[in-house]
Amino acid sequence: MDFSVFSACSVPIVMGDSQFCNQKAAIYSLNFTANPPQRVFKLVNRINPSIFCIHITNYKPALSFINPEVPDENNFDKLMKKSDGFALSSESEISFATQSDIPATAKYKNSLCFSTSKDAAECLSHAAGDTEWIGWYGARLQTSDSFLRFPSPLMSSLCTDDNPAAFLVNQAVKCTRRINLEQCEEIEALGMAYYSSPKILRVPGLRTKAEIPITVQSVLIQSLNKTLTRLEDSLVLNQTLVEAGDVKICTNVVLEVKYSLTYTEAGEIAQAGLALLLGPVSGPVVPLEQKFEIHFIQQNTKPVPLSGNPGYVVGLPLAAGFQPQKGSGIIQTTNRFGQLTILRSTAEQDCLAVEGIRTPVLFGYDMQSGCKLRLPKAITCQLAVQKVKSLLKGQGFPDYVASFGNSQAQDVLDWVPVHFITQASHMKDSCQLPVALVIEVKWTKYGSLLNPQAKIVNVTASLLSSSFPETNSGNERTVLISTAVAFVDASAPAEAGFRAQPTIDARLPFNFFFPFV
């Protein structure tokens, strides 16, 4: 075959089922540098970027069901050393590699190898630590002298200070301390410096020029009557024991700690912020409750606002989007007020003047808008139909609407398809002109009767058409275009249940009146 007459292969790639995570693909191309030109065939591994794939796990016990080893007095020390969720009892057991031993690409690595564009072999090489795109989920955050402590209740409600903070693990815990008020100035965990002085390593094990100081962003002082005062400066305050008559009070005691850590895409710590709540503690022996939170935020990303959590909130826009192909997630525009829109009415009532100006569909708000469209005499019905449809539906009418206000784009089952219906008039005209778009949103109350959540169960968009209007006395046709949105509560009313009234089913014995009857 003479391949010089072809410019390219009509079918460049042949694959099997698109739902496979990793599969063989046949790639065809033409080599025009050869004389004569030749067809090139390659068989390669291809990974579907739309599917989240886990190629390998390094935790072998998770691959099968095994009987856990029950801790006792003989094996407790061995299990403590084996466990990664506890801190070791002494800081001397935590070793740091020297700078010469740390590769230039060190980072907080991930225990699972995630990939969307690499094959399994490349993923394994990433896990070996020779690249920069993965990080350990759950790895302890190292500081210049030890690790970042995150007090937590482990075996009981008492605070355990040797618990390490874990990379990318958002936590919020409460725990208690039994303190002797006379010794409050000596307890480090009650002081502000205990949480603000550590310096977190940007990359694990590398301390030189890679220490991130913890910046105190907010300090609130709580008084005895629970009023709060914000400090203007972020000076380190030490807990102090004072006497007010016969009562002893320890002031500036840490009651709440909130860490906010920013990390890069490469898995490095970039910033560390701290917010504290300080307050007084009184009493001889006090069970003090403390709250601790830690959150991780990726650098150069913005949080996605929600329309409810989980149910929709009245007045917030409906979340909507498209599904480009079956099996993929939902694609949404970044403008949450532009995902599902209708025409916006203006004082001029001119459709051409408001073209492109839309108003969002807000949950719980029935809406109606319209305008006048003036069509020249020379315009055909087919062109008018295209123009009116673009006015009614906008630039991109969505295919799906989120059931809840916090539905995630990857959870396709949490999205409701939009049923689009076209209704024509009874007139037997060759051309029907759309004149109205009616959107009906059915929702129901979901969950507990004490706190019901609004859930969308069905969305229908009806496009109403009528006959193409005749020309008036002038050279223009005037068409009234309108859109409407209606929210329908489809939930069944809650009815109190009552038991049926009792009935008396009493029968006398057959010889009750003997011998009289």
Residue 273 is encoded by which pair of tokens? 């912020």
Cα–Cα dist 142/91, whole Å = 12
Report field, pTM of the whole predicted structure over 0.75: no
Residue 201 is encoded by which pair of tokens? 């390593």
Does position 367 have pLDDT exceeding 90, yes or no?
yes
| Between residues 49 and 165, the one the model is more confident about | 165
Q: How many residues does the chain have?
A: 517
- Structure letter (DSSP) for residue 387: H
Q: How far is CA 206 from CA 102, 126, 145, 209, 296, in A?
A: 7, 20, 11, 8, 21
Cα–Cα dist 50/412, whole Å = 13
Cα–Cα dist 294/256, whole Å = 11
User: What is the percent of the chain where pLDDT is above 70?
Assistant: 77
Provide the CA 9 distance to its chain's centre, in angstroms. 42
Query: What's the pLDDT score for residue 151?
Result: 92
- For the ranges 18-27, 374-383, 486-495, which has the lowest average pLDDT? 18-27
Angle at 111 between CA 107 and CA 115, to 5 degrees: 85
CB 126 within 8 A of CB 133: yes
Cα–Cα dist 29/11, whole Å = 9
Closest to 124 measured CA to CA, from 136, 139, 114: 114
Tell me the pLDDT band of 23, cut-offs 50, 70 and 90.
confident
| pLDDT per residue as tens digits for the range 389-425 | 888 988 889 999 999 999 988 888 999 999 999 887 7
3-state secondary structure of 373: strand
Tell me the pLDDT band of 63, cut-offs 50, 70 and 90.
low
Cα–Cα dist 147/199, whole Å = 9
**Neighbouring C-beta atoms of residue 176, cutoff 10 Å:** 15
Q: How far is CA 73 from CA 70, 77, 353, 371, in A?
A: 10, 8, 82, 81
Does position 87 have pLDDT exceeding 60, yes or no?
no
Cα–Cα dist 142/148, whole Å = 6
**Partner residues linked to 160 by β-bridges:** 152
Cα–Cα dist 267/45, whole Å = 27
Strands 112-115 and 228-230: unpaired
CB 142 within 8 A of CB 206: no
